[in-house]
Amino acid sequence: MTRNQRRVWLYDFVTTTQQQSSTDPKTMPYHEAWDFQKSLVEHQLSRIGKRPADPPLYDQFVPASLDFNNEKDGNSEANKKIPPFLLGCDSIIMLQHDPVYTLGTASDTSFIRGYDENDTNDNAIPIVRIERGGEVTYHGPGQLTVYPILDLRGYKQDIHWYMRALEEAILLALDKAGVKGATREDNLTGVWVSNKKIAALGIKARRWVTMHGLAINVDIRSLQNFEGIVPCGLEGRVVTCINDEIGGVPHFTVEDFAVHVKEALEEIFEVSLVSTPT
């Protein structure tokens, strides 16, 4: 199967206006994105069937006959909707979050500075425990967050390979953006520049269908609330962002950098991204 046939939905909430429930038109509340991920995973599992021997209801890749960007196909605005039976195709979500701290399934709350489970301060940054691996991290404006909902049977049924592939996509995107010296570190997940963490990863898989994913710090806003935690539980390590590493001007917006990430994901996973209707 060629890369042009391996078509994956792209839900691009970075370059489009967000839901009314957000305080910022360019960000999405965490629970809203989390619910959306879980919905897409359920569609994937329904496509796959309940037993390993069940044949999938339809292919995991988007049919070539669907092209929302081709006006000649008679795709009026009213018709530009994903058919419900194709919601279980592979998907990638790209967005910025409202400020939030997330904890993995076994994360230690001691890595949240001043944590008090009885705190009722409505102005505090929300803390959400989710089903990914890893320790506490922060999401917020200025950071690009990417959630691949992929059936690894169409790639490689190996979680270690998948994590390294996500890191490779980040490294490629950073290189495209002119960030020099980005690297992995032995026995740690994520991507680092000059001993500072610039991108974090945390995933969950059910029957080889992935959710959660990666976050890359782009502009200075993305660093503002990391002082409230020990990021990823790594004492003494600091975080950085793309604009602090490239120096000079012009600096990147999240929208600018998202273009490089899209290209990198297509190259590493050998797919073509198909933008969903807005």
241 tagged catalytic? no
Q: Nearest-5° angle of CA 59, CA 63, CA 66? A: 150
Whether 28 and 98 have beta carbons less than 8 Å apart is answered as: yes
Going by the DSSP 8-state scheme, the letter that residue 111 receives in this structure is G
DSSP string, 32-93: HHHHHHHHHHHHHHHHH-SSTTSPPSS-SSPPTT--TT-GGGT--GGG-S--GGGTTS-EEE
Residue whose C-alpha is closest to residue 267's, from 11, 20, 8, 18: 8
Catalytic residue among 10, 144, 170, 232: 232
- CA 188, 191, 196, 202 dihedral sign is negative
3-state class of 159 per DSSP? helix
Neighbours of 6 (CB within 10 A): 19
H or E stretch covering 278: none
What distances in angstroms separate CA 49 from CA 42, 45, 46, 174, one per listed residue?
11, 6, 5, 38
Q: What whole-number distance in Å separates Cα of residue 45 and Cα of residue 118?
A: 37
Q: What whole-number distance in Å separates Cα of residue 40 and Cα of residue 244?
A: 35
Would you please indicate which residues are annotated as catalytic (active-site) residues? 232
